[in-house]
Amino acid sequence: MRFSSSRPVCSSLLLSFFAAATLLSAQEVSPPGNSGTAAAVSAVATGIDSGNTAWLLTSTALVLFMMIPGLALFYAGLVRARNVLSVLMQCFALTAVLSLVWLAFGYSAAFSEGGSFVGSFTSLAFLKGTAPAAVRAGTTIPEFLYFAYQMTFFVITPGLIIGAVVERMKFTALMLFMTFWSILVYLPVCYMVWFKGNYFGLTGVIDHAGGIVVHITAGIAALVACIIVGPRRDHGKQAIMPHNLPMTVTGAAMLWVGWFGFNAGSGLAADGHAAMTLVVTHLSACTATLVWMAIEWAVLKRPTVLGAATGSIAGLAAITPAAGSVGPVGALIIGAVSAAVCWWFSIKVKARFNYDDSLDVFGVHGIGGLVGTILLGVLAHDTFGGLKNEASLTTQTLAALYTILYSALVSIILLVLVKKTIGLNVTEVQEREGLDYSEHGENAYNH
């Protein structure tokens, strides 16, 4: 009964969405000719390359595989049994909602010509005027495929934030915050870094697959969210243990495999550069896994399965911005440094300041993305097997700083607004009962 009041609102939103889609698709428009990076807008399309297209089709599936089921299972295994369905539901629902936002105006705002801060909200809205054979300018892949590939990044970025607020944030509040955060943070940052090439006045910023656009934005938002939402009511009073580590490790393995599409697909070509990117992605994850295990061995006198899985994700997050620029040696360094720094933030810093970043989104993704973005300015050189003089340390550091400030500011404003309107937290009774039943009326495990 408590959900009945939301049905008219949902129905109205759906009707408005499809009405807008019908109206836009009926407009007389010319085929999109302003797609691709800003530098490639005037490039002559060379036609669709079947090899590149096949690889990007595969990469698109791999990145979606990272969100559902990869991230969903990784997070679901880490929460308690009474909250596992709520996490799975959040990942599934975000995937659905944000895919439609991407179609309606997100893709157009991120990847079409506009202002200095964001692109046009209408030129590619609902992919109007786009034929199946249309080629994304400056590439050899279909416009539809570029749309789909970039959509998977748009979907998974706010999905990462879920891990910081599990077990106590309202489903409606989470969906509202994530949707507007994606529009107000992800779209402008994506547009400026990946399309416009001018990031708050900085040029030459390198972010191969999302250290800035994905991991720092989400990691900082996660830190802000867990502080404003507040801790779980039993945080610090008793040990809060994962309910299913095999589920978490399975999710981590899926993320590891899916990350090849995330990083090696971002070059938009099936070539030697993609092969190098795939190799360094794997090497960074391997190194970070072993270093995290070694730290635990030294501190706890034994390595943990959870630590190994977490270390691998730290290495993957850190190599993401640098994967297209660093070589194998650079990947080893990034993997080792990210494991040590992310472990320190996830274990020591979090305990020192007592914030409930429940699944270490800030400590792993935020810090991992920051480490990779900055180290790129040092390691993107042929000395380390990478591309010579590929990046500026100053530029990379400033870009990371700008991202931290921007994501934090917008996240604070949005969370405060949601808190003042519909509220952020479930009640104490609902939290103790578990979000699976209190929010969705279901139980994951029925005996």
pLDDT tens-digit map of 183-194: 999 999 999 999
167 phi-psi bin (left φ>0, alpha ψ -120 to 50, beta other) = left
Question: Quick count: other Cβ atoms within 10 Å of Cβ 75?
Answer: 26
What is residue 88's predicted lDDT score, i.e. its pLDDT?
Answer: 98
Average pLDDT over residues 244-262: 98
Tell me, what's the pLDDT at 386? Answer: 76
Crossing angle for the helix pair 143-161 and 217-229, nearest 10 degrees? 30
Full-model pTM: 0.89
CB 75 within 8 A of CB 435: no
Per-residue confidence band for 388, with pLDDT thresholds at 50, 70 and 90:
low
* Predicted confidence (pLDDT) per residue in 306-337, tens digit: 999 999 999 999 999 999 999 999 999 999 99
Backbone angles phi, psi at 203, to 5 degrees: -120, 155
Question: Token pair 């949902």 is at which residue?
Answer: 10
For residue 44, pLDDT over 50 is answered with: no
Q: Which amino acid is at 413?
A: I
Q: What angle do CA 159, 161, 166 make, to 5 degrees?
A: 100
pLDDT band at 46 (very low <50, low <70, confident <90, very high): low
pLDDT band at 36 (very low <50, low <70, confident <90, very high): very low
Question: What is the structure's pLDDT at 29?
Answer: 32
391 falls in which pLDDT band (50, 70, 90)? confident
pLDDT, tens digit (0-9, with 9 covering 90-100), for 194-218: 999 999 999 999 999 999 999 999 9
d(CA 305, CA 225): 27
Per-chain mean pLDDT for the chain: 90
Say if residue 27's pLDDT is above 80. no
Q: What is the pLDDT of residue 385?
A: 74
Question: Among 39, 383, 361, 317, which Cα is nearest to 223's?
Answer: 361
User: Residue 284 pLDDT more than 50?
Assistant: yes
Confidence of residue 389 (pLDDT cuts 50, 70, 90): low
Q: Give the pLDDT confidence score for residue 49 in this predicted structure.
A: 96
- What pLDDT band is residue 12 in, cutting at 50, 70 and 90? very low
- From the list 231, 213, 197, the residue with the least C-alpha distance to 407 is 213
Q: Which of 292, 311, 310, 290 is nearest to 300 (CA)?
A: 292
pLDDT for residue 447: 72
Q: Is the pLDDT of residue 7 over 70?
A: no
Q: Is residue 16 scored above 70 in pLDDT? A: no
In the block, which residue shows the tokens 């591309």? 387
Residues 6+ apart with CB under 8 A from 117: 188, 191, 192
What is the pLDDT averaged over residues 140-154?
A: 98
The pLDDT, as a whole number, for residue 5 is 39
- The pLDDT-based confidence of 42 (bands split at 50, 70, 90) is very low
**Element housing 273 (H / E):** helix 272-300
pLDDT at 32 over 70: no
Query: Span 50-63, mean pLDDT?
Result: 98
Residue range 212-242, pLDDT digits in tens: 999 999 999 999 999 999 999 999 899 899 9
Domains annotated on the chain, with CATH: 51-440 (1.10.3430.10)
Question: What gap in Å lies between CA 101 and CA 126, rounded to an integer?
Answer: 9
